Structure 1
């Protein structure tokens, strides 16, 4: 998929409308006040494009050791785009001049109380990343070809807080990609595939 095709798909309001918004069906979450957050969904423009992800540091207070996009809370007066770019610079040292912002995917509400706005960007290599060890154990890349493969993600079930939950999992040889990150990847895949 070329950068032009990626840009065109993310600019198509019909494609975005088809995927809608993902929310957990959880009465607890509806009763909680959600914390606004933004993540950068960086598509790295190698000859074979990839998605930049991070393995969160094991000592983090929340979501420790999980795979995520660079991102975090939106500060007062900040747009989701500004927050996503700032957080990517803080977490992995991504030069804030590199991302070419393309648009947003539908917001995602998590069962842990976050209202996440995913901001998609094209990023030219080389990245020259310097992760903050307090937040990121390892940045890594997932081939876009995996994301575009409709057979790649799996739907799984597990008990969480006394309720059975369904969630997506993406294949990777070293990391378990699930939860909000996996759901956002599912939305990205639907938009880019046009289905």
Structure 2
């Protein structure tokens, strides 16, 4: 069988544009365990180096969590159980997920106080069916200057040449994972989310792919492409919260402990909202309305 030829990765600058930009992204920091029952044997994802400083204060079932370094402040505290902890039937189908977000517009801005000065970013919450609904995530390349191994949605900051933020999300997904030429169907929107560290406002676009995509990680930006079953995120012990103190008061930080990876911060908060909308449960993670009213 002929070897697979990696795609010729598009550069961040197209012909006639500026030189490729630095690939720094927004800083992802924004927000229990129940007793494990019967744990499915989810496939272990690609090995990643765990030789860095140990993570601290992480609880969860054995074999879960990754080497992502969590910058916990002194005085952090365990948070609340998962919003769906009391939901007995957590059965998910792709149709159920899509129905929850079909045509949805952002209800407001979650995260810190929205100032209007944030840099806009678009991310692709790409869903597909493979014996149940899956979502595409990426793990940041160790070649990057910061936040290596961090797990996120494909996406990035708006480029002046992008017609809109949906185009931003598609362009970034193509640069990072070789998504094109498949164009996913835009289904709906999650709420906008501001980040604490980098002054970004994230626009999450929920989109549908026709099947499991044949994606290849761009090694300059992405260490691995992760195909995560949404059902895995609902297992007891996978979700947890922590409370961190920031100026202005405490914040709930969300975590999902996968096999070989920890998803946390803004990405985890967006996944949390998607699951809450699907299951029809309240998401107590606060937001500031677009019109500025708390």
TM-score between the two structures when normalised by the length of structure 2:
0.57
Structure 1 71/12 Cα, relative in aligned 2: closer, same or farther at 3 Å?
closer
* Greater alpha carbon shift after TM alignment, 110-119 vs 3-12: 3-12
Of 164, 167, 179, 1:82 maps to 167
Of 143, 153, 156, 2:229 maps to 143
2:137 aligned residue: 53
Report the alpha carbon displacement of residue 152 of structure 1 after superposing the two structures with TM: 4.0
- Structure 1: stretches of 5+ with no match in the other structure: none
1:40 aligns with 2:159: no
Contact 2:94–2:132 at 8 Å: present in 1 too?
no
1:2 aligned residue: 93
Residues 6-155 of structure 1: pairs in structure 2 closer than 5 A? 6-11=97-102, 17=107, 20-24=108-112, 30=115, 33-76=117-160, 77-111=162-196, 112-148=198-234, 152-155=238-241
Structure 1 172/44 Cα, relative in aligned 2: closer, same or farther at 3 Å?
same
Contact 2:104–2:188 at 8 Å: present in 1 too?
no
Once superposed, what is the RMSD of the aligned Cα atoms?
Answer: 2.6
Report the alpha carbon displacement of residue 159 of structure 1 after superposing the two structures with TM: 6.2
The structure having more radius of gyration, on CA atoms, is: 2
- Structure 2: stretches of 5+ with no match in the other structure: 1-91, 282-294
Q: Higher strand fraction: Structure 1 or Structure 2?
A: 1
1:176 aligns with 2:267: no
Contact 1:72–1:83 at 8 Å: present in 2 too?
yes
CA distance in 1, matches of 2:100, 2:263: 24
Q: Higher helix fraction: Structure 1 or Structure 2?
A: 1
TM-score between the two structures when normalised by the length of structure 1:
0.83
